[in-house]
């Protein structure tokens, strides 16, 4: 057991050195964070003397991975949002009405005129026909639009509920389709919010679904809840519409189906638009902040093949006609088509600042939220509370480590101090792994590290007590050390494997702070076993080869 091969010794030393190197940036957290932010700004094409000065705070050739601090340590914004899933029902019904109308108009000679009636429920379409005696014929035609559901929960069910009430045909989403739509809406909202938050480079946000229609959003490091709301609360619905004309009021449309939207720069100017867009934001593949030919901030965009084809055909057939770029119910610009645009790319200009063009590009890349959200709860958590928690955690960790070091040194002498060296390296290993995997450290996570410090020497205690027992029966110290490590290994592995299973269950079933605790606990168990079975053994082997003692002071 004392004969460690050269490659094993080299591997243990390299792992320990790597742990120290990768954990070191966390000792200079603010400096390294400013360095990383400076690098991100330089990569984005921004460079100033201040940014270059921040970059010089930490050498580029050294590792710069940091542990992400959670909301309770770093401060940030907390939001609880309610998603208006019924908005999606209304959009679905509005999109269904042209299909119903066109289908019934094919039988106008029999059915007469077709008219949509008002409905108190936005998720219900009510239609009447002139010849009410042909109501069943019309019902049979409309039922052709109903399709079998493809979801696992809706097998064998239809997506539409179509029936008659008096002289009206009533079309609504079936209950199974509403449940499936709710689930899709929430999943899409979660993904879009996550993409929008990730786009601005924030660290490890917490974005979770709560209940049927609520989303919890916690973003460490962001300035305020209002800033977070501005980022995720915009639907960013981008559409391109043919322009019918302009007007001075919102009531100027001659056709009730036409859209009337105000100009973003001139609120007294309104555009009358065709309701059906040529292309929409869902067909965008990229959007980037840029500058127009006059050096003003703008946003460039590019469509997917289908959108590029539709955009190219429309611009080729409507040279000399204006078309409107509409963002969230406002006309950003209404340029006149000078020539065909076959490439499917263009630029949005307006009175943007650099920050506004950057944020608009983020929103367009992330896509449109499927439904409006209402923020039920919002809090801005200052960093002062987080700093107090960090300081308290540091004190607890230092006190715990000092007491453990003293206990081991006084109880086991030289072997105890060897265990103390392994304990320090164990803490370095934990911080290095947390930095490399990009884990988020929360206050419960600090508790997990403190607990690990106390548990880390358990394996060494088992080994040293075993060595003491073997010294009474073994022929010499070398054999006692060898048997001590051999016979203690099974107990060490059994105890730590069961704790590791518990940590894995906490990670799988828990969320937020519970996960933070389980991550630090699980990593601490792995590093504790490594430091006890390999690091202390290597140090003991080195000591034994140099001293060749006749007895052990344990």
- Give Cα 92 distance to the centre of its chain: 28
Q: How far apart are CA 345 and CA 308, in angstroms?
A: 7
- Helix or strand holding residue 384 (H, E): helix 383-436
Q: What is the pLDDT of residues 295-335, one digit of tens each?
A: 778 777 777 777 788 888 888 888 888 888 787 778 877 77
- pLDDT of residue 511 exceeding 70: no
Q: How far apart are CA 448 and CA 438, in angstroms?
A: 17
Q: Which two tokens stand for residue 24?
A: 């070191």
- Give Cα 237 distance to the centre of its chain: 21
State residue 389's pLDDT score. 67
Strands of the 114-117 sheet, one edge to the other = 114-117, 124-129, 168-173, 160-165
Q: How far apart are CA 222 and CA 228, in angstroms?
A: 7
DSSP 531: I
Q: How far apart are CA 117 and CA 494, in angstroms?
A: 72
Q: How far apart are CA 439 and CA 434, in angstroms?
A: 5
The beta-strand segments (E) located in 6-74 are 68-69
Q: Nearest-CA neighbor of 193 among 222, 217, 226? A: 217
State residue 282's pLDDT score. 67
Contact 379, 77 (CB under 8 A): yes
What's the farthest any 2 CA atoms get from each other in the chain? 112
Contact 541, 4 (CB under 8 A): yes
Q: What is the pLDDT of residues 221-275, one digit of tens each?
A: 776 778 788 777 655 567 888 888 888 777 776 677 778 888 877 778 888 888 7
| Three-state secondary structure call for residue 421 | helix
Q: Which two tokens stand for residue 314?
A: 């429309």
- Percentage of the residues of the chain whose pLDDT score is greater than 70: 88
State residue 501's pLDDT score. 92
Q: Which residues, 6+ apart, have CB-to-CB distance to 250 below 8 Å?
A: 260, 262, 270
Q: Which residues, 6+ apart, have CB-to-CB distance to 238 below 8 Å?
A: 280, 281, 284, 325, 326, 327, 364, 368
Split at pLDDT 50, 70, 90, the class of 475 is: low
State residue 201's pLDDT score. 54
What is the model's pTM? 0.58
Q: What is the pLDDT of residues 184-234, one digit of tens each?
A: 788 878 877 877 776 555 556 778 888 888 888 888 777 677 878 877 765
């Amino acid at each position: 057991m004392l004969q460690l091969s050269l490659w094993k010794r080299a591997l243990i030393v390299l792992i320990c050195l790597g742990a120290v190197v990768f954990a070191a940036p966390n000792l200079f957290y603010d400096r390294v964070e400013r360095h990383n932010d400076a690098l991100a700004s330089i990569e984005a094409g921004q460079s100033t003397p201040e940014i270059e000065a921040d970059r010089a705070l930490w050498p580029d050739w050294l590792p710069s991975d940091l542990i992400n601090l959670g909301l309770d340590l770093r401060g940030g914004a907390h939001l609880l949002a309610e998603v208006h899933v019924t908005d999606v029902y209304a959009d679905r019904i509005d999109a269904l009405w042209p299909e119903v109308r066109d289908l019934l108009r094919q039988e106008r000679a029999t059915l007469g005129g077709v008219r949509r009636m008002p409905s108190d429920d936005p998720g219900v379409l009510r239609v009447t026909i002139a010849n009410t005696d042909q109501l069943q014929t019309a019902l049979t035609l409309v039922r052709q639009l109903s399709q079998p559901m493809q979801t696992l929960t809706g097998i064998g069910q239809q997506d539409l509920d179509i029936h008659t009430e008096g002289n009206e045909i009533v079309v609504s989403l079936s209950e199974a389709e509403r449940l499936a739509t709710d689930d899709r809406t929430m999943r899409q909202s979660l993904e879009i919010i996550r993409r929008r938050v990730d786009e601005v480079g924030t660290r490890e946000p917490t974005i979770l679904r709560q209940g049927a229609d609520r989303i919890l959003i916690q973003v460490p490091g962001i300035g305020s809840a209002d800033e977070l709301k501005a980022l995720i609360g915009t639907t960013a619905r981008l559409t391109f519409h043919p322009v019918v004309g302009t007007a001075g009021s919102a009531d100027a449309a001659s056709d009730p189906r036409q859209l009337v939207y105000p100009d973003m720069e001139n609120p007294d100017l309104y555009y009358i638009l065709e309701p059906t867009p040529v292309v929409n934001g869902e067909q965008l593949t990229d959007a980037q902040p840029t500058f127009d030919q006059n050096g003003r901030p703008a946003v460039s965009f590019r469509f997917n093949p289908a959108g590029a084809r539709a955009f190219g055909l429309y611009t080729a057939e409507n040279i000399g006609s204006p078309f409107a770029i509409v963002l969230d119910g406002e006309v950003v610009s209404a340029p006149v088509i000078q020539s065909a645009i076959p490439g499917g790319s263009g630029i949005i200009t307006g009175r943007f600042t650099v920050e506004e063009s950057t944020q608009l590009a983020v929103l367009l890349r992330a896509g449109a939220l499927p439904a409006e959200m209402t923020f039920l709860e919002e809090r801005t958590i200052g960093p002062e509370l987080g700093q107090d928690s960090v300081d308290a955690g540091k004190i607890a960790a230092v006190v715990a480590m000092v007491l453990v070091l003293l206990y081991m040194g006084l109880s086991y002498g030289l072997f105890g101090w060897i265990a103390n060296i392994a304990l320090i390296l164990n803490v370095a290993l934990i911080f290095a792994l947390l930095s490399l995997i990009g884990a988020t450290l929360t206050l419960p996570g600090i508790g997990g590290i403190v607990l690990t410090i106390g548990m880390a020497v358990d394996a060494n205690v088992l080994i040293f007590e075993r060595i003491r027992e073997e010294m009474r029966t073994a022929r010499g110290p070398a054999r006692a050390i060898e048997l001590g490590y051999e016979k203690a290994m099974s107990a060490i592995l059994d105890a730590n494997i069961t704790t590791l299973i518990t940590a894995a269950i906490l990670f799988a079933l828990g969320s937020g702070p519970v996960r933070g605790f389980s991550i630090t606990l699980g990593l601490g168990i792995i590093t504790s076993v490594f430091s006890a079975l390999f690091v202390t053994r290597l140090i003991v082997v080195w000591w034994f080869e140099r001293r060749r003692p006749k007895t052990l002071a344990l």
